[in-house]
Amino acid sequence: MSEKEGTFNNEKIHLIFFLSFFAILVTVLFAIWGFVNTPMGIKYVDIFFLSTEYPTNFAMYFSHFTHESLLGHLLPNLVVFSLVIEGLVMFPLLDYKTGPEIIPRWYLVSVCLLFVIILPFTISSILLIGTPVWHPEMGHGFSGIICAMIGLLLVTISYFISQKLDYLPGFCQPLCIGLSLLFTMIMLLVLIFVDLLLGWTVFSGPHVVGLLMGTSISWVTGNIYTAKTQRRKLVWVGILSVIFILPIIIAEPMIVLV
């Protein structure tokens, strides 16, 4: 198989994955929204919301997929989600159009799966840990995961630019790190700007934690894929495991086992 054919397959893999990923998550989000707005769902709606008084394992995960309002919460989240997915699909296409494959084949796929399988527990744990210090909003909704995916998009853009400039290979190089930090800071400033000037509550605990975790996880995972030796790969896997698991371990005594 030629290099061009391999890159084209990479593009197809990402397109099929992200279309399926988007469709499945939209279905899940609408299903949970529909349930919590039924008479039975209204009766049990509190179990879907993460609270500091009675945090449960169920709410630690499902609060990130729960919306009460359709127009005021779920649909705006889906609009932003669709834009982020479109951005993530664009880079494999640019790879195919502009030259040899830059983005590791399973990088975007694996990070997105980590975001929906494990990250909800980690974000919830960090919010619980931070409660005595900075009283973050517990809340509910998919926006924390969306912010993590924005972090993935920012790191991918940074890596793509640095590689197109024929800079040093890998995610662990100065230009990629610098651009990732710069874009993340700009995104945080945008959240503050929108919050203060438009009055929208976007500079919140779930959003900030989601963005910072998404950027960190995306960068560390990128280093797993681009590490030159097996030993370095294992080191990065260990760092990634700590990022995901340490907050969960610390928050575990606060959680009700339901």
The answer to which of 100-104, 223-227, 249-253 has the lowest mean pLDDT is 100-104
Q: Buried (b) or exposed (e) across 146-177, using 16+ Cβ within 10 A?
A: bbbbbbbbbbbbbbbebbeeeeeebbbeeebb
pLDDT of residue 133: 65
Reported as a pLDDT band with limits 50, 70 and 90, residue 95 is low
Q: Residue 77's CB: how many other CB atoms inside 10 A?
A: 16
Q: Residue 210's CB: how many other CB atoms inside 10 A?
A: 28
pLDDT at 100 over 90: no
Burial class of residue 194 in the structure, from the number of CB atoms within 10 Å of its CB (0-12 exposed, 13-18 middle, 19+ buried): middle
Helical H segments across the chain, by residue range:
3-36, 39-43, 57-62, 75-98, 107-117, 119-134, 143-164, 174-193, 205-226, 230-251
- Whichever domain contains 114, its CATH number is 1.20.1540.10
The answer to which of 2-6, 130-134, 199-203 has the lowest mean pLDDT is 2-6
Which of helix, strand or coil describes residue 111? Answer: helix
CA–CA distance, 119 with 113 (Å, rounded to integer) = 9
Which of helix, strand or coil describes residue 56? Answer: strand
**Domain region containing 15:** 3-254
Which residues lie below 8 Å from residue 250, measured CB to CB, with a gap of 6+? 125, 129
In the numeric block, which tokens belong to residue 52? 């500091």
pLDDT at 102 over 90: no
| φ and ψ of 179, to 5 deg | -65, -40
What one-letter code names the amino acid at 120? Answer: P
CA–CA distance, 61 with 49 (Å, rounded to integer) = 9
pLDDT of residue 257: 66
Count of domains observed in the chain: 1
Closest CA to 81 of 124, 129, 35, 30: 30
* pLDDT, averaged across the chain: 86
Tell me: the pLDDT tens digits for 148-194? Answer: 999 999 999 999 888 888 667 788 888 899 999 999 999 999 999 98
This prediction has a pTM of 0.90
pLDDT at 4 over 60: no
DSSP bridge partners of 56: 256
Reported as a pLDDT band with limits 50, 70 and 90, residue 56 is confident
